[in-house]
Amino acid sequence: MKRSFSGYWPWIVVAVTFLALIAAAAFRSTVSLLFEPMESEFGWDRTIVSVAIGVNLFFYGITAPFAATLMNRFSIRSVAVVALALIAIGSALAVIFPTPLGLILTWGVLIGFATGCLALVFASMVAGRWFHRHRGLITGVFSAAYATGSLIFLPLLSLVLTTSGWRATAFTVASSAVAIMVVFGLLFRDKPSEVGLRPFGLAADAPVQDSTGPISVRANFALLGEVVRTRPFLILAGTFFICGWTTNGLIGSHFIPATHDHGMPVTTAAGLLALIGVFDFIGTILSGYLTDRFNPIILLAIYYGFRGVALFSVPFLLGPTVEPPMFFFVVFYGLDWIATVPPTIELCRRYFGIERSGVVFGWVFASHMIGAGFASVFAGIIRDLQGTYLIAWITAAILCMLATAAVWTLRNDSEAITSPT
């Protein structure tokens, strides 16, 4: 009986990792729901909350390249449990100290750092240690779970917000983080060997290769210093900066207040974000399938190009009710949300090799979240100055067109390995 149960451990680990990824994404983005109530209660302008979101995204992104170092040194479980505890503490402190500086330090710095420890590097390490067969599929599911988490949980949190206020919403985040911390701490295991198993699907006579990742802070910076002098890295990091600008930074942070400006109820807008999340889950897995079969450069160019067209249309779609064109936008933007991730990871692997691609993508991912942080602040300032998000939508659309052009220049680059092995 004991031996039979041990076969479930890989899937138990997948389940609690999936839960932690969804929750971390939801907790990080909850502050976007607090725009209106905090502005109304304290008389703050849109820029103050936007700065808090920008700081959150910055710390979230800059933590990612070093998350593997922390997890290799202290164990995945220890780092994840501490991160969830910090989320709970930060959410509670935001209620106790409701000032602009308090919001920046709690939701910005503390929760930004904590959720950065529970990002895609965390997901890739779990998949790498526990799975040999289906590793790509598990990684894809984790990636989709992380990207979708905030969008699925926002409608639930918006219900708490509308019925009980922003303080109850913050305490809901804190209590949920504690509950997930307990479940994760009890059920998660760092390696299959801790429960007498081998990585799932690995032959009995094959050696177990541990997932290494970055081994030191110095090694991280050394590799960054090397790759930052190459054109492919600059293009991949630059286009992913734009990806973050147009997803987490603009749509993820400002879509709800932008639609509310046009008379749409918060719960309806949160529901649209949730729908984006549903189609994002499908789009991310589909993009991974396409990346295995088509040139990732062409895929990226298509993704950014169509995203730009979609963003140009947003000012004409906003209104108090959901009309068919808005529904079409939501479906398309969901499919495209992080469809850029699989081809970007593949290009990192082709340009910089399998062994270094994880670290390189960590830095590319950091640029994604830095772009999101800049976008959040930029859009908030534009809204305060002009009373509308029009310039923010147009700027994002133009950036996507520039990303399409930049990616297209890589198509004949001789530095790339032509085919994965």
For residues 24-47, average pLDDT: 76
Q: Which tokens is 176 given?
A: 């949920």
Q: What is the rounded distance in angstroms from the CA atom of residue 400 to the CA atom of residue 405? A: 9
Cβ burial, residue 82 (10 Å; 0-12/13-18/19+): middle
User: CB of 235 within 8 A of CB of 48?
Assistant: no
Q: What are phi and psi of 318, to 5 degrees?
A: -70, 135
Tell me what pLDDT residue 358 has: 67
Evaluate if residue 236 carries a pLDDT over 70: yes
Evaluate if residue 90 carries a pLDDT over 60: yes
Tell me what pLDDT residue 208 has: 61
Tell me what pLDDT residue 2 has: 46
For residues 39-61, average pLDDT: 78
Q: What is the rounded distance in angstroms from the CA atom of residue 46 to the CA atom of residue 29? A: 16
Does residue 358 lie in a domain region? yes
Q: What is the rounded distance in angstroms from the CA atom of residue 185 to the CA atom of residue 202? A: 26
User: CB of 37 within 8 A of CB of 201?
Assistant: no
Tell me the H-state helices in 228-353.
Answer: 231-244, 251-261, 266-291, 296-317, 324-336, 341-352
Does residue 206 lie in a domain region? no
Ranking 206-210, 372-376, 383-387, 395-399 by mean pLDDT, the lowest is 206-210
Tell me what pLDDT residue 401 has: 94
Confidence bin at 1 (pLDDT 50/70/90): very low
Does residue 198 lie in a domain region? no
Confidence bin at 4 (pLDDT 50/70/90): low
pLDDT tens string 59-77: 887 887 777 777 877 888 9
Q: Is 200 helix (H, G, I), strand (E, B) or coil?
A: strand
Q: How many domains does the chain have?
A: 1
Tell me what pLDDT residue 212 has: 52
Does residue 18 lie in a domain region? yes
374: Cβ contacts below 8 Å, ≥ 6 apart:
54, 245, 249
pLDDT tens string 155-203: 778 788 888 888 888 888 889 899 999 999 999 998 888 877 777 777 6
Range of the structural domain that residue 384 is part of? 2-192+215-408
Confidence bin at 102 (pLDDT 50/70/90): confident
Does residue 210 lie in a domain region? no
Confidence bin at 300 (pLDDT 50/70/90): very high
Evaluate if residue 322 carries a pLDDT over 90: no
Does residue 203 lie in a domain region? no
Q: What is the rounded distance in angstroms from the CA atom of residue 99 to the CA atom of residue 332? A: 38
pLDDT tens string 382-407: 888 878 888 899 999 999 999 999 99
Evaluate if residue 249 carries a pLDDT over 60: yes
For residues 355-366, average pLDDT: 77
Evaluate if residue 53 carries a pLDDT over 90: no
Tell me what pLDDT residue 187 has: 92
Q: Quick one: what percent of the chain has pLDDT higher than 90?
A: 16
| 231 vs 149 pLDDT, higher one | 231
- How far CA 400 is from CA of 65, 77, 198, in Å, comes to 25, 38, 44
Q: What value does the mean pLDDT of the chain take?
A: 81
Does residue 197 lie in a domain region? no
We report the CATH number of the domain holding residue 321 as 1.20.1250.20
Confidence bin at 136 (pLDDT 50/70/90): low
Does residue 208 lie in a domain region? no
